Structure 1
Amino acid sequence: MAPIKPAYDPELAVVLDAIPAGDITPESIPALRKMQNDAANLEITLSGDEPFTHHEKTSTGPNGPVTISLFYPKNKATTPRPAIYHMHSGGMICGNRFTFFKDPLRWAKAAGAVAITVEYRLAPENPFPAGLNDCYAGLQYVAEHAAELGLDADRLMVSGQSAGANLAAAVAIMARDRKGPKLCGMLLDCGMYDDRGKTASINQYVKDGTWTRGSNETAWTAILGSQVGKANVDPLAAVARQTNLGGLPPAYLSVGSAEGFRDENVELAKKIWAAGGQAEVHVWPGGYHCFDMLAPDAAISKACIQAKVGWAKKTLNEPLSKL
């Protein structure tokens, strides 16, 4: 018997019908990478007369050089700008720093911020902690060079989508524990936080939607190898395993009600609240994974996009005395 589950939003369902379904397998990763890389590059990111200029920097982490792209608003700044440091989606097995980056550019445009994106190493060739090391090395570089980059180090926000949200949350935890860069917020979009596959939602959306349970198993196995699902997995690899989420910057979590990651996003927010932190959570009715990027013209997608824009603008422009 098929599991009972929330239905897809009707507008979103029309778009979903046109998207190829099925599990990502280890064998399909190379083709998926090519497809995503063809769809996401610098030229596409700046298409549509985006009011940004692009600059590239290189930092160095434990695994070698790390490329960072910085997008500066074209209008002249008289004071240091706030910044968004972003980690892309793709299950940590595909995608690149330009994947779905139009979204962070929207937030940066609204907030007068610099949008930054990091090229982290992908699994299975580079399993945990390689990708996370790259992300943290890039964040350290941005914070340490904030003055010369024209950035306000007190208004630095991390963000991530899907697996990138897991990386963003892990980077924030590392910054807390290592007394590293000060962060003013973390914008976590449809996060992939749990390798164990035990939640109700991941077992409701087994074969349908844009990210199946099988795709999730492929990704986590690439990241963790034979340790996937076992008790000794490092909590920085799968943030749902964290037991201490105190002392983190305010968080915004966004997820669809009709996707496998719904429950782990809600549980993460509950842990933040239990530790005395602030978390704003939006569970969008009938939304599947990355619905607002894949079906941006749907009414619910427009609302989701505007909610993220509003939160980023508010967070990056709070009076410094409140941070």
Structure 2
Amino acid sequence: MMTVKKSAYLVDPDLKKMTDDMQELHLTYKTLARVREAFNEQVDVSIPEGLPVEVTEKQVPGPPGAPDVRIILFTPIHAPAPRPGYLHIHGGGMVLRSADDCNKDNAVLATTLGCTVVSVDYRLAPETKHPGQVEDCYAALKWMHLNANEIGVDLERIAIGGESAGGGIAACLAVLARDQGEVNIIFQRLQSPMLDDRTCVAEPHPYTGEYSWSPDNNRFGWQALLGCESGGEGVSPYASAPRAEDLSGLPPAFISVGAIDLFVDECMDFAKRLIRAGVPTELHVYPGAHHAAWQVSEARVTIAEYRDRLEALRRGFFG
């Protein structure tokens, strides 16, 4: 007998087909390899034909004592240099997916905005625990900065961002880059970001986390990343950005999240703190949208979120 979800009546009608057909995702150490294999079989990593973009795969120097970091570079052919640069960090709950999964989106973004996109294939948990993920992304950011002339990037227009876990890592990267003082980031674009490990121990929200990304999966992702139970003392702001006591001096932020996404409260709380710290912040909460609703590209709520997210980055780059 199928259990009716409490938030079922809140789901946007355009997303109903997805939620009706959605298979439950159960992440554990025993199921992780199988889930990864299933994801890899389902994802289309191809790039649409005819896009005026050059795609190059590179290995760049990794963090000290760590392997090189694989990146995928998307260079718009007809956009003159120096161009804005965007460092993209993929999602996957800290434990799934790869940079290749976002090839289409990054190719389209590069050609639409005329920006160079660097997509980071950071090491996954639990095989690599924090700080490996954010350090891999920082290594790619530094490579992008040091090689700006070679790849046609304007040093004064470097932005970062990502979706889900990638958005959470991007927020951490912004804190790390601020503290290191080596690379100036002008904008952070966070799509349904997995920001705060303390959501795992907070009072449960009555209407979130029933679709796509559950509280149980969230606990697994954070435990895999941290190597310990989440929500405790001493978690670094480079693992969970809201752990930073001081958010001042961070780059302007765009945050988008669905109203029935497990991450809605942590996104709203983080946006409020950014605003109170004097960081220009734009927050969008989309009614009826669950986590990963962006997979239904024809849904009106998804189209609105994409438009808002694209225009926010355009303003970040071009004012």
TM-score, normalization: structure 2? Answer: 0.92
Q: Decide which moves more: 263-272 or 225-234.
A: 225-234
Match of 1:69 in 2: 72
Match of 2:47 in 1: 46
Q: Go from structure 1 to structure 2 and tell me whether the alpha carbon gap of 1:258 and 1:224 turns closer, same or farther (over 3 Å shift).
A: same
How much is the aligned-residue C-alpha RMSD, in angstroms? 2.0
Match of 2:114 in 1: 112
| Residues 1:11 and 2:14 aligned together | yes
Q: Decide which moves more: 29-38 or 272-281.
A: 29-38
Match of 2:241 in 1: 239
* Aligned equivalents of 1:245, 1:3: Cα separation in 2: 37
For residues 56-105 of structure 1, the C-alpha deviation after alignment (integer angstroms, 9 at most, x for no partner) is 22222232210111111122x43311111000000110100122343344
* Aligned equivalents of 1:17, 1:70: Cα separation in 2: 37
Amino acid at match of 1:298: A
Amino acid at match of 2:52: P
Match of 1:173 in 2: 175
Question: In 1, are the aligned partners of 2:74 and 2:117 still within 8 Å (CA)?
Answer: yes
| Residues 1:313 and 2:314 aligned together | yes
| Residues 1:33 and 2:44 aligned together | no
* Secondary structure class of the residue paired with 1:70: strand
Match of 1:258 in 2: 260
Match of 2:92 in 1: 90
The alpha carbon displacement at 1:289 in A equals 0.4
TM-score, normalization: structure 1? Answer: 0.91
Q: Go from structure 1 to structure 2 and tell me whether the alpha carbon gap of 1:238 and 1:151 turns closer, same or farther (over 3 Å shift).
A: same
Match of 1:230 in 2: 232
Gaps of 5+ in 1: 319-323
Match of 2:143 in 1: 141
The alpha carbon displacement at 1:200 in A equals 5.4
Amino acid at match of 1:192: M
* Secondary structure class of the residue paired with 1:25: coil
* Secondary structure class of the residue paired with 2:197: coil
Amino acid at match of 2:24: A
The alpha carbon displacement at 1:129 in A equals 0.7
Aligned residues: 313
Match of 1:80 in 2: 82
| Residues 1:213 and 2:212 aligned together | no
* Aligned equivalents of 1:300, 1:201: Cα separation in 2: 25
* Secondary structure class of the residue paired with 1:56: strand
* Aligned equivalents of 2:236, 2:206: Cα separation in 1: 23
Q: Decide which moves more: 150-159 or 194-203.
A: 194-203
* Aligned equivalents of 2:121, 2:104: Cα separation in 1: 16
* Aligned equivalents of 2:274, 2:197: Cα separation in 1: 19
* Aligned equivalents of 1:260, 1:104: Cα separation in 2: 25
- What is the identity percentage for the equivalent residue pairs of Structure 1 and Structure 2? 31
| Residues 1:184 and 2:196 aligned together | no
The alpha carbon displacement at 1:32 in A equals 1.9
Gaps of 5+ in 2: none
Amino acid at match of 1:23: H
Q: Go from structure 1 to structure 2 and tell me whether the alpha carbon gap of 1:152 and 1:39 turns closer, same or farther (over 3 Å shift).
A: farther
* Aligned equivalents of 2:196, 2:6: Cα separation in 1: 22
Q: Go from structure 1 to structure 2 and tell me whether the alpha carbon gap of 1:287 and 1:201 turns closer, same or farther (over 3 Å shift).
A: farther
Match of 1:321 in 2: none
